[in-house]
Amino acid sequence: MTQSTAQNPIRTDAIIVGAGPVGLFAVFELGLNDIKCHLIDILDRPGGQCAELYPEKPIYDIPAIPVCTGTELTEKLLEQIKPFHPVFHFGQMAEKLEKTAEGKWRVSTDMGTVVEAGILIIAAGGGSFMPKRPPIKGIEAFEGKSVFYAVRKMEQFRGKKIVIAGGGDSALDWVVNLQPIAKHVTLVHRRDEFRAAPDTVLKMRSLVAEGVMDLKIANLTALNGENGQLREVMLTEEGKPPHALACDNLLAFYGLTMKLGPVANFGINLHENLIPVDTATFETGTPTIFAIGDINSYPGKMKLILSGFHEAALMAKKAFVYVHPDRRYRFQYTTSSSDLQSKLGVADAAE
């Protein structure tokens, strides 16, 4: 895709900030109403909290699905929205919101992507996931230069000596993915137990056994380098004095925390860091901006995924009026509407 700029933005019908379950289902409801979507999410994959915080944790309150994991729910939602060809911008934070001279919303991300649309849907859960900074003095001087909390371009680590810190899925996934292209990878974790998927842990241990990477059961205590470039990290292992480990880059995966982030600066009315909405449409106090899911607030609000699905359906009805002002909204059932079945690619099967 050609790099977008303020002078040459991506244009679409709707921008969805947040690609968790509610944001994904919004694609479905908007798609039924002939509304095309681009989604922006700070994570490197769809699914929001489901994918990042409890991918294997069972969920019991999705209608008609007695039990499923966060990963399974995300996969089913992605399959459901395939007919509508949504475009995802992962690993990017929606950083700036502007109104154009034509009355559109222009969202710019921290990676330079610029998207314009007639409506904006905020489905960011409790806010943006922000990486937890390791408690190491002076780490700020290295951030974005040789210390990173996410991998956006694998190539920048080719031929480098990398230390990866953490014991969850992100840390172990990147150990396995970067080991073939890095000069050397060392995984550092405070204990010899991991929260990652068992298969990934097994792959990591196999690489260690083959001698192509190292595993250190230790704590990171300090960073040494100049002008933002790491030279070495200091490790403390049980029963040993602190010692240095030479490296070019540190990838720290110490978990995530929730913050409202730049959404707080979008000029939208907030109440206790949540966005009040009209429950008939889930529109905010700013026309053409909607908020669905855990980020919104209204009397009787229940922070459930199924509540967010309901909100997405009513939001899409009002969004249709803005996106297609020359057309009359017609309520239809997917079970009986040949038009909706055609959009879903199931018209032949329904006959």
Say what the pLDDT of residue 125 is: 75
DSSP string, 131-153: EPPPS-TTGGGTBTTTEESS-S-
pLDDT by residue (tens digit) across 160-210? 999 999 998 889 999 999 999 999 999 999 999 998 889 999 999 999 999
* CB burial of residue 64 (10 Å; 0-12, 13-18, 19+): exposed
**Are 284 and 266 spatial neighbours (Cβ–Cβ below 8 Å)?**
no
Say what the pLDDT of residue 58 is: 78
Say what the pLDDT of residue 215 is: 97
Q: Which of 181, 255, 242, 248 is nearest to 216 (CA)?
A: 242
CA distance 77 to 86: 12
pTM of the model: 0.67
Which stretches in the chain have pLDDT values below 70? 1-2, 6, 51-57, 126-130, 152, 256-267, 269-270, 272, 347-351
Q: Spell out the residues 6+ positions from residue 349 whose beta carbon is closer than 8 angstroms to its own.
A: none
Say what the pLDDT of residue 205 is: 97
Say what the pLDDT of residue 268 is: 72
Say what the pLDDT of residue 259 is: 58
Say what the pLDDT of residue 196 is: 86
CA distance 39 to 29: 14
Q: Which of 16, 22, 88, 81 is nearest to 289 (CA)?
A: 16
